[in-house]
Amino acid sequence: MAPSSDTKVVGSAGEHFVCSTLAQLRWSAALTREGVAHADVLAVHPDPPRRMVEVQVKTIRANPRPKWPMGGRWTSASESCREWYVFVLLGADVTERPRCFIVPRDHATAGAWIAHENWRTQPGIAPGKRNTPVERVRVGIDVWESYAERWDLLQRSAYEAPVLLPPEVLDLMNEPRIGFPDWHPWSSTVRGRA
C-alpha cells in the first residue's frame, strides 16, 4: 500500500472512531466533506442548549513514542468556541481500543507551537541544526496526556475548558527563545507575564 493511501486509511479509521464514540455519548455526529477548514467531524448534542462542536481529528498508528503531525494549516487561532482537536492513537490491533485526547483548538495550537519551538531552540543544539519548519511539527503524547478521554470537555465552550497542558510546557511560554506567536489568543497574556 502506498504511504499516502495508508495515511488516508489511518485518518479515516480515526475519524470514524471519533464519530462512533460521540454517538455512544449521545452526540449526533457526521463526517464533513474534504476541504472544510478545521473540521473533520461536526456533532450536535440533543440536550439543551444543543451544543455543537467542530472536531479536527489527527490519527496515528500505535507506536512506542507516539507523535502526531499537525498538518500544514494548524497555525491559526480558533474562530469559535466550538473548535476542538481529537488526537487518536490507534491500538496495536483491532482488539485494542484506540486512545483519544480531546483538546480545545487554542490549547492544541499553543501546545504544538511550544513543543516545536522548544525542540528547535534547545540549549546546546547548534543554531540551524534543527530547522524543520513549524508547518511540519509533530507533537508527542506527553503534551496531550492530561486530555486523555476527556470527552466531558465537549459539553462546555472550548474557550472555558481548563488548560491541561503539562506544567513544563506552560512554563516555556514565557521563555524568549520560544517566541510565542502574535496570531495566538494567548500571546497578550504571555507578554503580560514577562
What are the structural domain ranges in the chain?
A: 3-174
The fold adopted by the segment(s) 3-174 is: PvuII Endonuclease; Chain A (3.40.210)
For 31, the 3-state DSSP assignment is strand
pLDDT per residue, tens digit, the chain (194 aa), is 444 558 889 999 999 999 999 999 999 999 998 767 789 999 999 999 999 999 999 999 999 999 999 987 888 889 999 999 999 999 999 999 999 999 999 999 999 999 999 998 888 888 778 888 888 899 999 999 999 999 999 999 999 999 999 999 999 988 888 888 888 998 876 544 43
Where in the chain does DSSP place strands (E)? 28-31, 41-44, 52-60, 67-69, 83-89, 99-104, 138-140
Closest CA to 140 of 51, 61, 65, 37: 65
Alpha helices in 53-140 (DSSP H): 105-120
Taking the C-alpha atoms of residue 164 and residue 150, their distance in angstroms, rounded to an integer, is 10
